[in-house]
Amino acid sequence: MDKLWPIGARMDEDEELWLGGCAASELAERFGTPLYVFDEATLRQRSQAYQAALKRRYPASAQTAYAAKAYLCLALAQLFAEEGLDIDVVSAGELHVALRGGFPAARVHFHGNNRSAGELAQALEAGVGRIAVDNFHELELLAALTASRGSDRLPIWLRLAPGVQAHTHAHIQTGQVDTKFGFTIAGGDAERALLRAMSAPGIEVVGVHAHIGSQIYQAETLATAASRLIEFAAQMRSRHGFILAELSPGGGWGVPMVEGDPAAPIESFVATLAQAVVAACRAAGLELPHLALEPGRSLVAQAAVALYRVGARKEIPGVRTYVSVDGGMADNIRPALYEAKYTARRVVNRKSQIAERKSDHERVTIAGRFCESGDILIRDIVLPRLEPGDLLAIPMAGAYTLAMASNYNLAPRPAVVLVRDGQPRLMQRRETLEDLLARDLPRGRRFHKYQALGNDYIVLDPADWPLPPSPAAIRRICDRRYGVGADGILWGPCEPAEAATPAVPQGARPFGLRLFNPDGSEFEKSGNGLRIFARYLWDRRRPPGRQFAISTAGGLVVAHVLDEDGSRISMEMGRLSFDSRAIPVAGPPREVIEERITVASRELRITAATIGNPHCVVFVDDETFEVSQDLEGLAKNLGPLLERQPLFPNRTNVQFVRPLDRHTLRMAIWERGAGYTLASGTSACAAAGTAIRTGRCASPVTVQMPGGALHVEVAGDWSVRLTGAVEPVCRGEVSEGLAGECPMPAGGRSPGSCNRSPRS
Ligand code: LLP
């Protein structure tokens, strides 16, 4: 292929494009599109071309520095460092990547036109090799920063504006008189700057620098600018004794962009420039300075091809045909910003269903996918007919494309691969949707508190709490003296714990929920907590219907909103089980029904059950209890001992229950992880179920607790439905002091996900 494509690129008879031995369609398939493919051989060959040309054409010391602004990533920095180039950076960001990539600081040149004292200090700290000073402000900052360096003076360059106009787009001309860059030679600023710098004790001006623009085709223009710098240096030598040790005539050498552009060989450019430098020095009687070139574009442009997937076509008869691709101005702003011209090739989609592909050529305009009329990559190009699914390959895509890429329309930036000998290597992965949120913080730490029969829970929504609160934060928030105060935290709706099939008709996806005790421990299920969460969803997140599923670590439950205002909610809690293995209870597999156990030298008869969490029920109706036995006292005194009986490896909730009639129970509760509590939904389920199992009651059962009554219906298969009131208590924002230890999202972690570790 021609000068516009990476070395060795070829198109085969199947219309497959090969880059570095890799098939473009396979790269696109594997890494997705838009994809930027850099060819390693081209990068190395271009670097070596500069180095070799300098050696051949310039009879004194010389070096090439890569202008990182054209595009930099870690692997590219490593590659150029390995090629022995120096590097030119213009920001702390480029400096950081260059250093990480293995450039010794001494091989870094630092440019810029408005660096703060902090940035300059940072560069000094890092020990960058050369700082090119652009203006008096920077010069004063540097003079102050280096005042106490003693004999170890800081070598700098002065950036000069030589007054040479480059023939290139106005946006990328920098050498003319009317420019923001550098000290103007003509007005005398350059001389004043030199004198000021020579008088600063910590600075040594070792060279001068200019950069007159980019995408310049006339080597003579660049040569003229270099000669101007030398003439200036010669004048300064005779007037002030200035010695020009180093000359940096910048970068700017152009590259062909479309077929009609002439080739721009590096060798002849370097030859013209070197010749001019030698001639100017000779004429002025100066010794040849060290020559430092700074190419950006001409090192990387040709190495990369951008691959896009073709999508929509819009034909406006007699006007224009638009073919849209899946990238555009966010990954390549150059056509929109500089009217830059690109060309392209079609890579036909061989999986295409179209039996007869038309091969006729047509004139089309390649549009990007971004919401701007100006988002046009190529206006009027003749190509074989493009169909959705084809690839479009745009060459000369290595320079100032990715480097200027944005997240406009919140587009993730493309993946970048390096190809060599048939091997692709990912240099930059495609941005993910989570990357787009990586720097974002929610607007506040809101909470919503509800109560249900004396149980109060705080709902923390992942929209405000991207990660579940830490145990310490939970303890503080639930603390009734210090925090908001609650029986627990409900964190959701999050991703459902496992791919559970919702038990609702035409089942919508369940809402995920994680539940936390006030002591920070996590638990599986809570009847009142779940009803509160259902009310929260009803109030804020509007489930599609009055029935919806909630997924917890204790299984799937289905909520029914009975009243339009959400004030009464019933919950299908799943099935009760009396199987000791499911609860769990230690010892041989069995049902634990009225089993005798001695606690604090008192004999009790316990019945154990689970409805996702463990329960231990003691009926206070046999000869071992006084008729008027105080249930609350029993719960408070014996509850904590029963909770931690070795019989219950996961600990247990404890209920003391007195049957009042066939359909009514009275109950006091000791809750695992929470202590004495006024009401509990799963406890009511367990009490009703065990009362039925032991023949004391029949469904439905009303369970009276100090906090209020719950209505429990138990079916023949032991599935339980729980009904009662729920109401909002208050809402607000917790102070950072309460939430302070709650982790904010870190990169890569998906907010709202249920990456839970199994409960101990
Ligand atoms: N040195 C200095 C001080 C520069 O300012 C530049 C580019 C270079 C070297 C490298 O120039 P190159 O060899 O790449 O032409 N975004 C524009 C180009 C801006 C160039 C800025 N300075 C574009 O896409 O055409």
Ligand 1 centroid distance, CA of 146 (Å): 29
Residues 647 and 547 both lie in one domain:
no
Residues 294 and 315 in one domain: no
Determine the average pLDDT of the residues in 611-616. 94
Confidence of residue 746 (pLDDT cuts 50, 70, 90): very low
Residues 604 and 483 in one domain: no
Q: Is the pLDDT of residue 597 over 50?
A: yes
Closest by CA to 368, choosing from 401, 335, 337, is 335
Q: Is residue 616 part of a domain?
A: yes
What pLDDT score was predicted for residue 499? 53
Q: Exactly one of 371, 616, 697, 730 is catalytic; which is it?
A: 371
CB-CB neighbours of 105 under 10 Å:
15
88 C-beta closer than 6 A to ligand 1: yes
For the chain, percent of residues with pLDDT exceeding 90: 81
Q: How confident is the model at residue 47 (pLDDT cuts 50, 70, 90)?
A: very high
Strands in 17-19's sheet, in edge-to-edge order, are: 10-11, 17-19, 22-23
User: What is the Cα–Cα distance from 486 to 488, expressed in whole angstroms?
Assistant: 5
Nearest atom of ligand 1 to the alpha carbon of 337: 24
Of 5-9, 331-335, 705-709, minimum mean pLDDT range: 705-709
Asked if 311 and 198 sit in the same domain, the reply is no
The residue among 400, 428, 456 that closes a domain is: 428
Cα separation, 145 vs 118, in Å, equals 10
Phi first, then psi, for residue 251 (nearest 5°) are -115, -145
* Residue labelled with tokens 């039925």: 692
Residue 255 belongs to domain with CATH number: 3.20.20.10
How large is the average pLDDT for residues 563-587?
95
Q: Answer yes or no: do 213 and 350 share one domain.
A: no
91 and 19 in a single domain? The answer is no
Q: Is the CB of 338 under 6 A from ligand 1?
A: yes
- Beta carbons of 672 and 554 less than 8 angstroms apart: no
Query: Does pLDDT of 329 surpass 50?
Result: yes
Residue 211 Cβ inside 6 Å of ligand 1? The answer reads yes
CA distance 238 to 611: 96
CATH of the domain at 447: 3.10.310.10
34 lines ligand 1 (CB under 6 A): no
Q: What is the mean pLDDT of residues 508-517?
A: 92
Shared domain for 16 and 122, answered yes or no, is no
Q: Is 185 helix (H, G, I), strand (E, B) or coil?
A: coil
Same domain for 466 and 390: no
Residue 366: strand pairing partners: 323, 378
How large a percentage of the chain has pLDDT more than 70? 94
- Contact between 161 and 212 (Cβ < 8 Å): no
Is residue 379 in a domain?
yes
Query: Any idea what the Cα angle at residue 524 is, between residues 520 and 530, rounded to 5°?
Result: 95
Alpha-carbon separation of residue 18 from 27, 28, 75, 91 (angstroms): 10, 12, 22, 36
Same domain membership, residue 203 and residue 115: yes
Q: What is the pLDDT of residues 131-187, one digit of tens each?
A: 999 999 999 999 999 998 878 899 999 999 998 887 767 776 666 677 889 999 998
Phi and psi for 603 in degrees, rounded to 5? -90, 130
Distance from C-alpha of 17 to C-alpha of 10, rounded to nearest angstrom: 6
Point out the domain boundary residue: 406, 428, 450.
Answer: 428
Let me know whether 309 and 296 are in one domain. no
Nearest residue by C-alpha to atom 16 in ligand 1:
400
Count of structural domains within the chain: 4
Q: Which of 111-115, 330-334, 744-748 has the lowest mean pLDDT?
A: 744-748
Question: What one-character-per-residue DSSP string does 369-403 give?
Answer: SSS-TT-EEEEEEEEEPP-TT-EEEESS-SSSSGG
Is 604 within 8 Å of 614 (Cβ atoms)?
no
What pTM, to 2 d.p., does this model score? 0.74
* Residue 111 forms part of a structural domain: yes
298 CA: nearest ligand 1 atom = 13
Tell how far the Cα of 69 is from the centroid of ligand 1, in angstroms: 7
**Does residue 193 belong to any structural domain of this protein?**
yes
Judge whether 742 counts as a catalytic residue.
no
Dist CA 562 CA 568 (whole Å) = 5
Tell me the three state secondary structure of residue 121. Answer: helix
| DSSP H or E segment with residue 30 | helix 24-31
**Contact 400/297 with Cβ under 8 angstroms?**
yes
**Is the Cβ–Cβ distance between 442 and 466 less than 8 Å?**
yes
The pLDDT value given to residue 167: 72
Q: What is the pLDDT of residue 1?
A: 81
**Which atom of ligand 1 has the smallest separation from the CA of 215?**
15
627-681 confidence digits (pLDDT tens): 678 999 999 999 999 999 999 999 999 999 999 999 999 999 999 988 999 989 9
Do 348 and 361 sit in the same domain of this protein? Answer: yes
| E strand intervals along 86-193 | 86-89, 108-110, 130-133, 154-161, 183-184
How far, in Å, is the centroid of ligand 1 from the Cα of 153? 29
327: left (phi over 0), alpha (psi -120 to 50) or beta: beta
Do residues 84 and 203 both lie within one domain?
A: yes
The CATH number assigned to the domain holding 353 equals: 2.40.37.10
295 lines ligand 1 (CB under 6 A): yes
Per-residue pLDDT at 616 exceeds 90: yes
Rounded distance between C-alpha atoms, residue 211 and residue 233, angstroms: 16
Q: Is 254 in the pocket of ligand 1 (CB under 6 A)?
A: no
Q: Which is higher by pLDDT, 698 or 464?
A: 698
Instruction: Give nearest CA residue, ligand 1 atom 5.
Output: 211
More confident residue, 733 or 502: 733
Pocket test for ligand 1, best of 46, 69, 91, 94 (most atoms within 8 A of CB): 69
502 CB under 6 A from ligand 1?
no
Beta bridge partners of 304: 38
- For residue 296, the CA-to-ligand 1 centroid distance in Å is 6
Pocket test for ligand 1, best of 179, 211, 248, 334 (most atoms within 8 A of CB): 211
pLDDT of residue 526: 85
Atom of ligand 1 nearest to the CA of 111: 3
Q: Identify whether 38 is part of a domain.
A: no
DSSP 216: B
Q: Does ligand 1 come within 6 angstroms of the Cβ of 172?
A: yes
Of 259, 284, 300, the residue that ends a domain is 300
What per-residue confidence (pLDDT) applies to 742? Answer: 58
Q: Is 473 in the pocket of ligand 1 (CB under 6 A)?
A: no
The answer, yes or no, to whether any atom of ligand 1 lies below 6 A from the CB of 335, is: no
**Among candidates 143, 210, 141, 138, which has minimal Cα distance to 174?**
210
Asked if residue 272 has pLDDT above 90, the reply is yes
Index of the ligand 1 atom closest to the CA of residue 171: 17
- DSSP assignment of 272-341 equals HHHHHHHHHHHHHTPPPPEEEE--SHHHHGGGEEEEEEEEEEEEETTTEEEEEES--TTT--HHHHH---
Whether 746 is in a domain gets the answer no
pLDDT digits (tens, 9 = 90+) for 381-427: 999 999 999 999 999 999 999 999 999 999 999 999 999 999 999 99
Domain that holds residue 694: 595-725
Position 501 confidence tier, pLDDT thresholds 50, 70, 90: low
Q: Does the beta carbon of 658 lie inside 6 Å of ligand 1?
A: no
pLDDT at 558 over 70: yes
Name the closest-CA residue to atom 6, ligand 1: 251
CA of 440 to the centre of ligand 1 (A): 32
User: Residue 223 in contact with residue 276, Cβ under 8 Å?
Assistant: yes
Q: Is residue 757 part of a domain?
A: no
Please check whether residue 50 lies inside any domain of the structure: no
Residues 535 and 553: their CA atoms lie apart, in Å, by: 19
Model confidence at 87: pLDDT above 80: yes
Instruction: State yes or no: pLDDT of 754 exceeds 60.
Output: no
Angle at 350 between CA 346 and CA 352, to 5 degrees: 100
